[in-house]
Structure 1
Amino acid sequence: MIRQVLSATALLAAIGAPAAGGSAYASIALSETEAASPTLPQLLSARERAETENRLLAARLDRVIPAIMREQGIDLWLLVAREYFEEPVVASMLDAENMHARRRTILIFYDPGQGKPVERLTVSRYGLGGLFAPAWDPAKQPDQWQAVAELIAARNPAKIAINTSDLYQFADGMTVSQYDKFTAALPAPLRARIVSGEGLAIRWLETRTPAEIELYPTILRTAHAVIAEAFSRKVITPGVTTAEQVQWWYRDRLLELGLTPWFHPSVAIQRQGAKGMLDGAEVIRPGDLLWTDFGITYLRLNTDTQHLAYVLKPGETAAPAGLRQGLANSNRLQDILRRHFAIGRSGNEVLALARAEAIAAGLEPSIYSHPIGLHGHGAGPSIGFWDNQNADPRGSGVINANTAWSIELTTYAAVPEWGGQRVDFRAEENAFFDGNSVRFIDGRQTELTLIP
């Protein structure tokens, strides 16, 4: 469990409000209601995207780093990456023009205490967009690791955090070879001060700033608009189009838009009289319940959405009532889950509380929600897994304020119009926890999309 020193209120105050001259996307606010026919927002040019990413990163470094270092009680944090082998934290700290680490890139954060600014240093041959001060002159000290050791010794930190973690991949970036080189150069008395930077890595990656949350609704709206296109007659001709053709349509559409998927889109079919999910070369037919799982990366933030659609039969104007009720059940489970979020409560605790309430309400739930942000399956505690509805070590971490979540889950129900067939009503929407409540970022699906 990650130790907390600062209160949630103190950390929020440290992170602060959006920087002046913020996003061009302020017109879209967080909303509980999803747009019925979402339209694609205007996308930024490559230069505008880079400028936006750099602005967000600068604000994160200025505000989040001091707050989490003081929260975790760490005065020096050392990060190491090599070209094309960037660890998750370093990769998230590279400016938009530096797409990879150069040779060996070493970053150091040092908090001198007494309210003084945190130093941001790079011990490498190249600077990093002005965000880190160069701290190595190879002409004076050719040995990079010796330069690191001298820099640390001069500051005499009480704790030296490096990214090692058996549980969280996000916090396990220090390789054995680099650790050996580092510790060989470090004076023996300082080696005893090395501690895991697990808490810092998780808190850095999971914390969302006001400027990021200001942008997130537009990013989600972009994803929702693409899903709306996919689940329409523009893409799907019943009796002709296959599930895998819709999957590859997504990929082609994102290429056109200059956007990136962080996973291959999923499309599958549930059909009366058919067992399980049908996918691949299966042709979509009238009367089918379609499911999609789709996510993009834009401005370094990720989306993850699962929606359902019904293909109308000739003469139908609405989906069968049993299918509509199934989605309503999943909406109810979303609300139950959101109510149990609380600062300091573990993911496992939230899972147990939400499942108990849902089962008592007569639902058949499966919850597998996760943080989202700089990664699709983001840093922070998980709330269940589709193949494990009990406590899991990955759900032992605590929930913090200013975090974004994929509220991912399903309920199962017998559909009368399908002869009592058990149907899987998957739902996934992205939300923001401000420390008090969980709000959807760009609404949620409450009605099945209808495809004529």
Structure 2
Amino acid sequence: MDNSTVSDPAVLIAREKLLQAVQLLERLDLDAWLVFVRETSLSKDPALELIYPHELTWHSAFLVQRDGASHALVGRHDANNVERLNNFTTVSGYDQSIRPMLADLLRRSGARRLAINFSESDPAADGLTSGMRMTLEAIAAEAGLQPAQLVSAENLVSSLRGQKSASELQLIRQAVATTERLLDDFGKRIAPGVTEQQLADFLHQRLQQDGLATAWDWAGCPIVNTGPDSVIGHGAPSQLSVQPGHLVHVDFGVKQNGFCADLQRMWYVLAPGEVAPPPAVMHIWKIVRGALMVGLMALKPGVTGWEVDSVAREYLTRHGLPEYMHAYGHNIGRVAHDGGATLGPRWERYGKSPYVPVEAGNVFAIELGAQVPGYGWIYLEENALVTDDGAELISAPQTELYLVRT
């Protein structure tokens, strides 16, 4: 397929991902991968958008085979949309039922290990609903496949979603740059008397002017915190106002051309007579930034997520600060939490994701922080690309605590 004439980035990325999926089938010793969906405007499989960028109505099946062939079975009225992409080896439409065509396709594929989208640990690989799985198992039985031959696609989807293609990485870099530009402007609005909500409203207004979306729920993006009484976490901005002596924190990311950034930045509002933050603030600032950076230095292909997290976590606690009660890092991409490997502790809530090996091409948001009693919270977050032999930041890191002069 000639990519030189493709103008839609989503179509080009789908082509890149189909080629990548074939390579992963070989690596994981799987015969084929099946994405089986219906009414995608109502019930989405997160894996579908990797290989097909539009909505579908009737039962639809996309089969990617280890030999490089890929097949689309869709309702007749969707078939033309799929054909126009020129991404699949065959495209077939049906009218009354997908069952006979899909059973025949599975039979002819010769697949003995068929990967399907279910997972206890990775929501990005758990898009096959229970009802659709029942339907699929009945069709697979007609094709001679036993339930044990339908295996989880979680490892395939984790790598396919996590290892960013060249086009995906370009769009993530664009989202990061836009987020940084807006955060620079945000910092200029910080002043005594301005509320968290007013600061958040400023970013919302800028997003609307530029036709951009937030990387997560609009009401909770950005997260803005000022001073010691603000609740850190995922809460919406409050009516608390910035005061001298406050730490001001923002957690924010844009979604641009389908891809997200996720960054956190910090300011200190100088009190009258101050020319620098108090020693207590700077002490914790240095520890937090140090922990963030030692975690980055541990990030490389082949290590597991929990190993990276433990390096940053141990640095923080060794320097006398309490451990953060979340993961050190998460994949970013099409959403702010993009599935796959988690750079987090071996806690039950993270399932198997902290045991997933890091891969070159992963893009992580890395984050941690600590409270400064009487002043607020210091939290930092950067976006990092895993390279062949380590990791590099794709965000311009905050290396010093920004000051607001009153």
The TM tier, using the shorter chain, reads: 0.7 to 0.9
Match in the other structure for 1:132: 88
Which residue of the other structure, out of 355, 379, 387, is the alignment partner of 1:396? 355
- 1:434 maps to which residue? 387
**Residues 92, 374 of structure 1: 8 Å contact kept:** no
Q: Describe the superposition over 1:141-167 as per-residue Cα deviations: whole angstroms up to 9, x where unpaired.
A: x42121011011112112111111122
Match of 2:226 in 1: 269
Aligned counterpart, 1:347: 305
Map of 1:448 onto structure 2: 401
User: C-alpha displacement at 1:205, in angstroms?
Assistant: 0.9
User: Normalising to structure 1: TM-score of the pair?
Assistant: 0.77
User: 2-side partners of 1:286 and 1:412: how far apart?
Assistant: 17
Residue identity in the other structure for 1:406: A
Give the Cα separation in 2 of the matches to 1:399 and 1:375. 18
**Which residue of structure 1 aligns with residue 265 of structure 2?**
307
CA contact (8 A) 2:34 2:64 kept: yes
The 1:155/1:55 distance shift into structure 2, 3 A limit, reads closer
User: 1:65-76 counterparts in 2 under 5 A?
Assistant: 65-76=21-32
Contact 2:259-2:334 within 8 A present in 1 as well: yes
Q: Tell me what 1:374 maps to.
A: 334
Separation in 1, partners of 2:230, 2:13? 47
Give the 5 Å matches for 1:168-183: 168-183=122-137
Identity of aligned residues (%): 22
Are 1:199 and 2:158 an aligned pair?
A: no
Alignment partner, residue 90 of structure 1: 48
The aligned residue for residue 183 of structure 2 is: 227
Question: What displacement does 1:316 show?
Answer: 4.2
1:365: how far off?
4.3
161 and 390 in structure 1: CA distance in 2 versus 1, 3 angstrom threshold:
closer
The answer to whether 1:407 aligns with 2:366 is: yes
Alpha-carbon shift at residue 138 of structure 1 (Å):
2.7
Q: Which amino acid aligns with 2:49?
A: A
Q: Determine if the alignment matches structure 1 residue 120 to structure 2 residue 93.
A: no
CA RMSD of aligned residues (A): 2.9
1:103 counterpart residue number = 58
The letter of the residue matching 1:371 is: N
CA distance in 2, matches of 1:444, 1:388: 29
Asked if 2 retains the 8 angstrom alpha-carbon contact of 1:370 and 1:406, the reply is: yes
Q: For 1:319, which of 268, 273, 277 is the aligned residue?
A: 277
- d(CA) in 2 for partners of 1:431, 1:73: 30
Shift of 1:213: 2.7
Distance 1:81 1:432 in 2: 32
CA distance in 2: counterparts of 1:391 and 1:176, whole angstroms? 22
Higher relative contact order, structure no. (Cα contacts within 8 Å, ≥ 6 residues apart): 1
Superposed displacement of residue 200, structure 1: 1.2
The change in CA–CA distance for 1:227 and 1:296 in structure 2 (over 3 A counts) is same
Give the Cα separation in 1 of the matches to 2:263 and 2:47.
Answer: 25
Whether the aligned pair in 2 keeps the contact of 1:292 and 1:307 (CA below 8 Å) is yes
Distance of 1:422 and 1:246 partners within structure 2: 19
C-alpha deviation, 1:324, in angstroms? 3.3
> Aligned equivalents of 1:259 and 1:145: distance in 2?
41
Distance 2:230 2:330 in 1: 28
Whether the aligned pair in 2 keeps the contact of 1:79 and 1:90 (CA below 8 Å) is: yes
In the TM superposition, residue 445 of structure 1 has moved relative to its aligned partner by: 0.8
Alignment of 1:130-169 (within 5 A): 130-138=86-94, 142-169=96-123
1:40-82 Cα deviation digits (max 9, x unpaired): xxxxxxxx9x7233333322323x1122111111121110122
**In structure 1, what is the equivalent of residue 246 of structure 2?**
288
1:94 to 1:20, Cα distance in 2 relative to 1, 3 A: closer
Call closer, same or farther: CA 1:245–1:201 in 2, change over 3 Å.
same
Native 8 Å contact 1:165 1:172 kept in 2: yes
In the alignment, structure 1 residue 80 sits paired with structure 2 residue 33: no
Q: Tell me, what secondary structure is at the counterpart of 2:8?
A: helix
Q: Note the C-alpha offset of 1:404.
A: 0.5
**CA offset at residue 227 of structure 1?**
1.2
Instruction: Tell me the distance in 1 between the aligned counterparts of 2:166 and 2:358.
Output: 18
Q: Quick one: structure 1 residues 390 and 351, their matched pair in 2 at CA, closer, same or farther if it must change by over 3 Å? A: farther
Q: Output the CA distance in 2 between the equivalents of 1:361 and 1:286.
A: 28
Secondary structure at the aligned position of 2:205 is classed as helix
SS class of match (1:189): coil
CA contact (8 A) 2:118 2:154 kept: yes
2:18 matches 1:61 = yes
Q: Which runs of 5+ in 1 are unaligned?
A: 1-18, 23-47, 113-117, 415-420
Question: Given the superposition, is the C-alpha separation of residues 324 and 253 from structure 1 closer, same or farther in structure 2, using an over 3 Å criterion?
Answer: same
Gaps of at least 5 residues in structure 2 are none
Deviation by residue 1:67-116 (Cα, 9 ceiling, x = unmatched): 21111111211101222112000033333xx3x2233322110122xxxx
Rounded to whole Å, the distance in 2 between the matches of 1:398 and 1:439 is: 17
Change (3 A) 1:295 1:388: farther
- 1:324 touches 1:447 (CA, 8 Å); kept in 2? no
In structure 2, what is the Cα distance between the partners aligned to 1:137 and 1:401? 38
Match of 1:384 in 2: 344
Q: 1:369 is aligned with what amino acid?
A: G
